[in-house]
Amino acid sequence: MLYRAITVYISWTFVFWGALSAQTYIKDVRPIVVKRCGVCHHEGGMAPFPLIKYEDFSRKATTALAAIESGLMPPWPADTSYRRFLNENVVTEKEKQIIKQWIENGKPRGKGREKPIPLPKPWKPDYTIFMQDSFTLYAHDKDRYLLFHVPQKAEKDMNVSVFAYRPGFAQTHHTELFVDSTASQTFEFTRPGFVLNDGNENYEGRYDFMRNYYYLSGWLPGNRYILPTRFGMRIPKGSQFMLMEHYAPTDKDYTFKSEVSLKFTQGKPKRYVTELTMHGHSDLVYTEYDNYAYFHLTKSDSMQESAMTMFKIPAGKVVTLHAKKTLDKDWSCFAVCPHAHHLARKIVTYAVTPSGDTLPLVRINDWRAEWQLMYLTQRFIYFPKGTTVHMFFTFDNTENNPENPYFPPRDAIYSFNADQEMMEFFLFCVPYKPGDERKKVKYPKSAGYLFE
Ligand code: HEC
């Protein structure tokens, strides 16, 4: 038996070695780089340098391999042993070996032309939401939140399938689109860009002027906001928009004009998307508003109070907080997205159905605030009415957490400010239809090659 095992091992090693020793960049390594790194590390992509061309990758090969081996790249914080996702991007053991061996063999290029990579084709937006005027953000050393007035109102009902955000510049933490479908906003924007928080002002005190706005969709680094084929998010006629952008410190001035391009659902949407949001400082807060979830920023007057009292992460402590919500309807879920800032270390989410089945959702063992990904499920996850969704976030507010914004640590409260904390879980759902749980979630081809 042992002998057999050894022979099998040896012959496999030879086959493998034979395959590996003939590695070239063009034939063997480049397809891996294109597939795993291409979406960000192409010329002009969101990563700081390109990696696709032979010259680029071979120059950075050792660093690239180190980034892969440490799990830093490609960014995929979700634990693949908990649930697999459609947009999963993880370098396999075999792919790692191929890159390693190619480096050891002296990084041969091999013959052949380098074909352009299959990036999603540029598309013509059906509607664009844009800032009224360009805005100059002066160099600053603190996180900043800005609100931008958007002049137009939706001239007709829109069903949106793609939101493409073009934020001001690379140091954007995130951008959010708020909608007031009653168009009754009374707040006067005295400047095109309103600095909500410049590090001194208190964000929480300012909810009230956003009274009628609700969150529609947002962009976080590494995310693309694309709905499944023939799915739509409704924006009622007459809606007014507002952009909220959150910027990291910068050492120079930037003048910019942000935009959000929308692509409409082709034909009448088959399904209307609702975003259910669970908050760590309360239960899940949602009511249905048209066809999507409506989280009213001022609905809970006690928000500040609960933020201060219930949600507190004491300095010097590691705490695990648990929030849960029981759903009062049948839902089919197709994407999940947890959100926290720098004190979070670990996130575990799951749902328990009324019959007692546990459905793992997403688990992140080593949370990194810079990668707030949307995890797309392969099939719909059916949440029968009465299902309870649980989320557990572990926060490390000690000096051992290198991401801690304060040394020595300070108590953290619930706040949009990145030096405080949040504990959110977004579930993208459609009302359940019988048979959903057996269906694969389909995306349009234009969604990009990472989905294939
Ligand atoms: C989702 C986008 C994305 C993908 C996919 C991605 N990267 Fe990156 N990569 C980035 C960004 C953004 C940075 C700069 C910020 C950072 O270091 O986190 C970066 C930084 C790096 C760095 C520098 C890390 C350091 O030590 O500072 C290396 C090396 C790297 N990437 C290699 C790769 C390789 C190799 C792949 C594919 C196997 C890959 N990346 C896939 C976005 C991406």
Instruction: Say yes or no: CB of residue 34 within 6 Å of ligand 1.
Output: no
Name the residue with higher pLDDT: 420 or 430. Answer: 430
Q: Give residue-wise pLDDT tens across range 286-324.
A: 333 222 222 333 334 444 444 445 567 889 999 888 788
Token couple for 134 = 């360009």
Q: Give nearest CA residue, ligand 1 atom 30.
A: 64
**Number of the ligand 1 atom closest to the C-alpha atom of 222:** 1
φ and ψ at residue 21, rounded to 5 degrees: -70, -15
Determine the pLDDT at residue 211: 58
User: Quick one: pLDDT at residue 308?
Assistant: 44
In degrees to the nearest 10, what's the CA dihedral of 70, 375, 313, 278? -170
Using an 8 Å Cβ cutoff, are 406 and 316 in contact?
A: no
Both tokens of 394, joined, read 């572990």
At residue 186, the pLDDT reads: 46
Q: Categorize the per-residue pLDDT at 223 as very low, low, confident or very high, splitting at 50, 70 and 90.
A: low
Nearest CA to ligand 1 atom 7: 74
Give the up-direction half-sphere exposure of residue 182: CA atoms within 13 A in the CB hemisphere: 11
**Residue among 173, 166, 169, 180 at smallest CA distance from 209:** 180
Q: Which CA distances in Å does 74 have to 92, 163, 275, 339, 342? A: 11, 23, 27, 19, 20
Tell me how long the chain is.
452
**What pLDDT, on a 0 to 100 scale, did the predictor assign at position 310?**
58
Atom of ligand 1 at shortest range from CA of 89 = 5
* Ligand 1 pocket member 369 (CB < 6 A): no
382 vs 198, residue with greater confidence: 382
Is a pLDDT exceeding 80 seen at residue 215?
no
29, 35, 37, 41: CA torsion to nearest 10: 100
CB distance 2 to 10 below 8 Å: no
Query: Cβ(68) to ligand 1 under 6 A?
Result: yes
User: Ligand 1 in contact with 431 (CB < 6 A)?
Assistant: no
| Dist. CA 318–CA 338, nearest whole Å | 19
Beta carbons within 8 Å of 117's beta carbon, 6+ residues apart: 34, 38, 42, 52
**For residues 216 and 374, which has the higher predicted lDDT (pLDDT)?**
374
Q: Whose CA is nearest to atom 20 of ligand 1?
A: 47
**Ligand 1 neighbourhood includes 222 CB (under 6 angstroms):** yes
* Contact yes or no for 192/133 (Cβ under 8 A): yes
Tokens representing 317? 């402590």
* Sequence-separated (6 or more) residues with CB below 8 Å from residue 323: 278, 279, 280, 282, 283, 284, 390, 391, 423, 425
Distance CA 79, CA 302 (A): 35
> pLDDT tens digits, residue range 65-75?
999 999 999 99
Is residue 133's pLDDT more than 70? Answer: yes
Q: Which of the given ranges, 103-107, 183-187, 310-314, 446-450, has the highest pLDDT on average?
A: 103-107
Q: Which tokens sit at 221?
A: 């680094």
Ligand 1, residue 46: give the atom nearest the CA.
12
Point out the ligand 1 atom lying closest to the alpha carbon of residue 63: 29
Task: State if residue 32 touches ligand 1 by the CB under 6 angstroms criterion.
Answer: no
Tokens of 345: 């270390």
Report CA(138)–ligand 1 centroid distance (Å).
Answer: 28
pLDDT at res. 439: 94
Residue 41 Cα to ligand 1 midpoint, Å, equals: 7
Q: Closest Cα to atom 3, ligand 1: which residue?
A: 40
Nearest residue CA, atom 15 of ligand 1?
Answer: 47
Token couple for 75: 């960014």
| Ligand 1 lined by 41 (C-beta under 6 Å) | yes
| Probe residue for ligand 1, chosen from 73, 95, 368 as the CB with the greatest number of ligand atoms within 8 Å | 73
Nearest-atom index, ligand 1, CA of 66: 29
Q: How far apart are CA 65 and CA 180, in angstroms?
A: 47
Residues 6 or more apart whose Cβ sits within 8 Å of residue 82:
360, 362, 363
The closest of 448, 399, 437, 323 to 45, measured between CA atoms, is 448
- Whether 90 is in the pocket of ligand 1, judged by its Cβ within 6 Å, is no
Q: Residue 226 Cα, ligand 1 centroid: separation in angstroms?
A: 22
Give per-residue pLDDT as tens, 94-124: 999 999 999 999 999 999 999 888 776 777 8
Give the separation between CA 311 and CA 411, rounded to whole angstroms: 10
CA distances from 69 to 30, 66, 72, 100 (A): 18, 5, 8, 10
Per-residue pLDDT at 81: 96
Query: Which two structure tokens, joined as six digits, stand for 113?
Result: 């032309």
423, two tokens: 């504990």
The finding on whether 98 has its CB within 6 A of some atom of ligand 1 is no
Distance CA 298, CA 421 (A): 19
CA angle at 17 for the pair 16 and 21, rounded to the nearest 5°: 125
Residues 412 and 405: beta-carbon distance below 8 Å: no
The predicted pLDDT at position 324 comes to 84
- Alpha-carbon gap, residue 289 to 235, rounded angstroms: 11
pLDDT tens string 321-363: 878 888 989 999 999 999 999 999 999 999 999 999 999 999 9
Of 204, 211, 212, 214, nearest to 176 by C-alpha is 214
